[in-house]
Structure 1
Amino acid sequence: MSLEIRAVASHREIREFIELPYRLHSTSPQWIPPLRLERRLFLSRKHNPFFTHGDARLFLARRDGRVVGRISAQINHPFNEVHDNAWGMFGFLEMEDDPEATRALLDAAAGWLRARGRDRMIGPMDFTMNDEAGLLIEGFDRDPMIKQPWQPPYYQPLVEGAGMDKAMDLLMWELEIADRSKVRPILFRLAEEANTKHGVAVRKMSRRTLRADLDMFADVYNHAWAENWDFVPYSEEDLDALALEFQLVFDSNWFMIAEKDGEAIGAAISVPDINQVLRKMKGRLLPFGWWHYLRRRRTIDRVRVGFLGVKPEYQYTGAAAQLYIENFDMGAATRCSWGEMGWILETNTAMNRGMEAMGGRVVKRYRVYERTL
């Protein structure tokens, strides 16, 4: 049967690109269908701020007219500027159990990037590492949380068989955030000293001032994450979009800033897992999806700790321990008694040790791949 790889060029092909995972994974109990409307907006050059500083091309694989796979190729110019490299990325990888189609899709993405002067391809990521990133290689039996991809086990051998090499693993740690007995006592002491000895105070963000609070978060992020392998600073356009996104899931219990002498020195954002609601919505707002969304507080009982960091010059203060303990306090005070922390780079020794100190365990592992072009 003939195989064809072609760049997406029409509204119909965009729809086919979006629909493929619904067909591939509809019988998988762990897969959670995203909202189709949100996916259309995310891929829109008009609505996604990625396209203010990056470019991308989408591809579909067909066998005798039937869509059997998809992929994106993208260039994130701020990433190249920060790291002084010429890398390109790929993402949105979905395919049937078809080695030929997998290799052809990855070759198409690589060819597009090579033609634009890229010398290395990494991924998957949709479109950046702060969106859905990595290929699931451990934890197939667990539901994905918000902004976590889920792929079936056959994806890994297909990707590796197509010539992709491991670049980095991303770890997700499960935490019983209502169970303080699992926390090593030193964290409580450090959290107390952060306030009494170093004058650090944790305050909650508010919905009314969320956009301004995200400026403070970005200041922390652009310092605390600057040495990370994947780092890209947040732009104003990124923060505008992030504020709109967070408004849909905002809960002041879980959005925190650590301050010292009026300066934001640390931040933690734990997002209530809207995937528990999306499962009931089945990819659509109508006819009853909106009703499940409005009742989300009755459904959600877990969070994803997506960001927790402290500026390097203030890491001696114990602010990180203070943010950790505040998350445990919120776990005891709300319905959300557990969650997952991450992803965390496998090379981030300090954060991984911190997860161990809080009684965490690795429950999912995502792999980012690379290929020299």
Structure 2
Amino acid sequence: MPPLRLERHIFLLRSQNPLFKHGDAQLFLAWRDGRVVGRISAQFDELYNAQHEDLTGMFGFLEFEDAPDIVAPLLEAAASWLRAQGRDRMIGPMDFTMNDECGVMVDGFERMPFVKQPWHPPYYGVRCEEAGLEKAVDLFMYELVISDRSKILPVVFKLAERVQKRHKITIRRMSRRSLRRDMDAFAAVYNEAWSDNWGFVPYTKPDLDAYAQEHQLVFDRNWYMVAETEEGETAAVAITVPDINQVLVKMKGRLLPFGWFHFLRKKWIIDRVRVGFLGVKHAYQHTGVAAALYVEHFDTASRTPQKWGEMGWILESNHNMNKAMEAMGGRVVRRFRVYERAL
């Protein structure tokens, strides 16, 4: 699934990626006989370190040919750079943070990756563990057929029905014009609801500026939702992204000469979505607003071309969300593993 080359170039630019406002990174290539056989990044994020009160660094962008002597030197290159930056542990892979693509795929190899998902052949996990990496956590992706209401437990509908009547909370759609402002609402929910999660890093203004710009390329009003009280306070947010990978695979990584044609036809090509974020502020978690957003997704699928998708990633330790996915009729179809190593 080739990414759009222009987007990847922009993502790696220090002037464009917000990581470099609160961290730093170094990129490495592995060469053999005049040919590149692997790559890795080493990076640290001061926001992560402040949040977790540690000196953890990260590695990412990990790609390598299937040979027994490539991964270990790549990891040591990253580790050496991180030690020089005063770090005592590294986790990864993540490109560059947990809010970007992360993990090594260890299950679900037969499935085409969704937007912002990595894909790896089965030997990746094997080589990583041979090189001494240890599992830190697994991330789950759930498949949801969001046009099939029969798979939802009845209690979800009961909870959804009382949200507006009892708690005066309504759901509205974001607009392209208001997207940057709504990203502030998203951050307010995310930075509160996710704060206790493994690997959490808060979104800052530069992060949100970049995030809003990135979403302009895939924005579909049907799938970007905000739940608000009568007073206009944000109670919950759901951001679901039409899977642009279905278009990118036809573009073969390039806009020219004909890639733009497929991009302009994306609304007729994309039939699936990635439910990337659905969060509720602590004060409203008793209201059933999450159930209302779930039901809204199923209703939306009944009138749009997108009928199914994947939800996540979700931490294996997030028991409440895993139970909620099961209540929605979801099933785990992919696992991504984040590794760690002491420095």
TM-score bracket for the superposition, by shorter chain length: over 0.9
Q: Distance in 2 between matches of 1:98 and 1:56?
A: 26
State the partner residue of 1:217.
186
Matched, 1:44 2:28: no
Alpha-carbon deviation of 1:198? Answer: 1.0
Alpha-carbon deviation of 1:117? Answer: 1.1
Q: Map 1:183-194 onto structure 2 (within 5 A).
A: 183-194=152-163
Q: Map 1:350-365 onto structure 2 (within 5 A).
A: 350-365=320-335
Q: Distance in 2 between matches of 1:135 and 1:162?
A: 14
Q: Distance in 2 between matches of 1:251 and 1:100?
A: 45
Amino acid at match of 2:252: K
State the partner residue of 1:256.
225
State the partner residue of 2:199.
230
Q: Distance in 1 between matches of 2:25 and 2:270?
A: 34
State the partner residue of 1:295.
265
Q: Distance in 2 between matches of 1:227 and 1:269?
A: 20
Matched, 1:54 2:54: no
State the partner residue of 2:299.
329
Matched position secondary structure for 1:47 = coil
Which structure has more RCO (C-alpha within 8 Å, separation ≥ 6)?
2
State the partner residue of 1:22.
none
Alpha-carbon deviation of 1:340? Answer: 0.2
Q: Distance in 2 between matches of 1:244 and 1:66?
A: 35
Q: Map 1:56-205 onto structure 2 (within 5 A).
A: 56-205=25-174
- 1:207-250 Cα deviation digits (max 9, x unpaired): 11111111111111111111111111111111111111111110
Q: Distance in 2 between matches of 1:285 and 1:50?
A: 26
**Runs of 4+ with deviation above 3 angstroms:** none
Equivalent of 1:309, from 258, 262, 279? 279
Q: Distance in 2 between matches of 1:55 and 1:213?
A: 28
- 1:260-298 Cα deviation digits (max 9, x unpaired): 131001000000000000000001000000010000000
Q: Distance in 1 between matches of 2:130 and 2:283?
A: 44
Alpha-carbon deviation of 1:46? Answer: 1.2
After TM superposition, the score normalised by the length of structure 1 is 0.91
Extract unaligned runs of 5+ from structure 2.
Answer: none
Q: Distance in 2 between matches of 1:296 and 1:327?
A: 20
Q: Distance in 1 between matches of 2:305 and 2:116?
A: 21
Amino acid at match of 2:169: V
Alpha-carbon deviation of 1:98? Answer: 1.6
Matched position secondary structure for 1:178 = coil
Q: Distance in 2 between matches of 1:105 and 1:165?
A: 16
After TM superposition, the score normalised by the length of structure 2 is 0.99
Q: Distance in 2 between matches of 1:94 and 1:281?
A: 22
Q: Distance in 1 between matches of 2:191 and 2:22?
A: 17
Extract unaligned runs of 5+ from structure 1.
Answer: 1-31
Matched position secondary structure for 2:8 = helix
Amino acid at match of 2:274: R
Alpha-carbon deviation of 1:93? Answer: 0.3
Q: Distance in 2 between matches of 1:107 and 1:313?
A: 45
RMSD: 0.7
Q: Distance in 2 between matches of 1:50 and 1:284?
A: 25
Matched position secondary structure for 1:333 = coil
- 1:156-191 Cα deviation digits (max 9, x unpaired): 110000000000000000000000000000000000
Alpha-carbon deviation of 1:314? Answer: 1.1
